[in-house]
Amino acid sequence: MRILCVLLPHFPLRCEILRNPGIDARQVIIIYGTGSRKLVLDYSPELTELQRDMPLQQALARYDKAEIVQADMPCYWSTFNRILDGLEEKSPLVEGLELGTAYLGIDGLQLIYPKDENLIKEVIEVLPKTFIPQIGIAEGKFPACLAALHSPPSGHKIFKGDISSFLKELPCDILPLSAKGKSRLHDFGINTLGQLAVFPEGPLQSQFGPEGRRIQELARGNDAMPVYPRLWEEIIEGSTLLPSVTVSLETIILTVESLLSPVFTRLAPAGMGIHTMAMWTRSWNSENWERSIQFKEPVMDMHTAISRIRRIMENFPQPGPIEEVGVRVTRLGYPLGRQKSLFREVRGRDNLMEDIRQLELRQGNTLVFQLKEVEPWSRIPERRYALTPTGL
């Protein structure tokens, strides 16, 4: 399968430049947080000693004058999705699982674009000018990615025929393998793709399992992985700037309610509910907080949705005072039919009893009674039934 790979190097940085062209001339490190750790997401190209996912302390030890920018992942993905939308107009098979890397299945497009250069030109036109794409075409995703990696900035490289001679000198570190796996390859004395390609299959699989077979196929230039096109989904998105920064959970919940209210109004006539949504906030120092919220069953009402959102917000506190709140409904669904629980009524009764008990404690006397049969057969009417307090 012929595949075109579009690499957009330093995608987060280019997104930041799109928003603020001034930072193009400065040394910038874009960071993101996982728990209490701050890691490098992207950096200016001149900061050559940095790597992605490097701890911020190590990055600052090398470049202490660099400007730190908090990553705005919702913005980056929004920009990337717009690019993928544009690419889908060129090919129906577009995969964009990783930020800044897109694969296009181009089998059958020869009738529209007789030469690969025509297609590449069309693809480049889709991309915003800020990005400096590298494009590669080959049989399979991994070879196409390698072709893109070895193409000049804003240029392209096309692999045709046998590429084993090109691959054999490349280091094993370019394989999609964990750092531990790469280290083990080096431990076995396998440093290049050429060495890996001729290594006996049996020992390799005994050490690496199914992954061993896959990396050997990749080293030989074979990649049978198909392109996974994006799933079509209706996305409802909204965000709002708060009048003043806040740390109050109630204020944030109220804001989310106001954002979700039109969503429920829109979905109610169709009998649909929210199945999956994402909620994000941006703090005053541009730090982002985002959580994906999945509901076991599509929620049809605000109360259920808010109670879940509240729990999540209590469990995952905000990084600081919030100035912007946004929601993104990514998956809708219809409510499922379900069998009622045998004990549902019992629980409902228990809740009612508890409410009545609280009410009576507050008022100081018995307010609610239930009618009970005492001697329903009695000839004396007042002996047949009695009113008893609900708790008895």
Q: What are phi and psi of 372, to 5 degrees?
A: -125, 145
- C-alpha 254 chain-centroid distance: 25
Instruction: Tell me whether residue 179 or residue 380 sits nearer to other proteins (CB atom).
Output: 380
Q: Which stretch binds other proteins (CB under 8 A): 115-123, 216-224, 300-308, 363-371?
A: 363-371
Cα–Cα distance between 7 and 105 in angstroms, integer?
15
* Least gap, CB of 353 to other proteins (angstroms): 13
Residue entry with tokens 């964009």: 96
Report if residue 352 touches other proteins, rule: CB under 8 A. no
Instruction: Tell me whether residue 98 or residue 355 sits nearer to other proteins (CB atom).
Output: 355
* Least gap, CB of 357 to other proteins (angstroms): 9
Cα–Cα distance between 104 and 106 in angstroms, integer?
6
Report if residue 365 touches other proteins, rule: CB under 8 A. yes
Report if residue 270 touches other proteins, rule: CB under 8 A. no
Instruction: Tell me whether residue 68 or residue 374 sits nearer to other proteins (CB atom).
Output: 374
Report if residue 392 touches other proteins, rule: CB under 8 A. yes
Beta strand 28-34 with 37-43 is: antiparallel
Determine which residue in the list 342, 364, 376, 377 makes contact with other proteins, applying CB under 8 A.
364
Report if residue 153 touches other proteins, rule: CB under 8 A. no
Residues 219 and 296: beta-carbon distance below 8 Å:
no
Q: Which stretch binds other proteins (CB under 8 A): 70-78, 98-106, 271-279, 357-365?
A: 357-365
> Bridge-partner residues for 104, per DSSP?
4, 94
- Number of Cβ within a 10 Å radius of residue 145: 23
Between residue 370 and residue 389, which ones bind other proteins under the rule CB under 8 A? 371, 379-382, 384-389
DSSP class per residue in 169-183: TSBGGGSS--HHHHH
Residues 306-345, mask of contacts with other proteins (x by CB under 8 A): ----------------------------------------
Cα–Cα distance between 29 and 70 in angstroms, integer?
9
Binding footprint of other proteins, residue count (CB under 8 A): 21
- The closest alpha carbon to 233, from 59, 85, 14, 16, belongs to 85
Instruction: Tell me whether residue 25 or residue 380 sits nearer to other proteins (CB atom).
Output: 380
Q: Which stretch binds other proteins (CB under 8 A): 233-241, 245-253, 293-301, 359-367?
A: 359-367
- The closest alpha carbon to 221, from 140, 156, 106, belongs to 140
Specify the amino acid at residue 114.
P
- Give the residues lining the site for other proteins (CB under 8 A): 358, 360-362, 364-366, 369, 371, 379-382, 384-389, 391-392
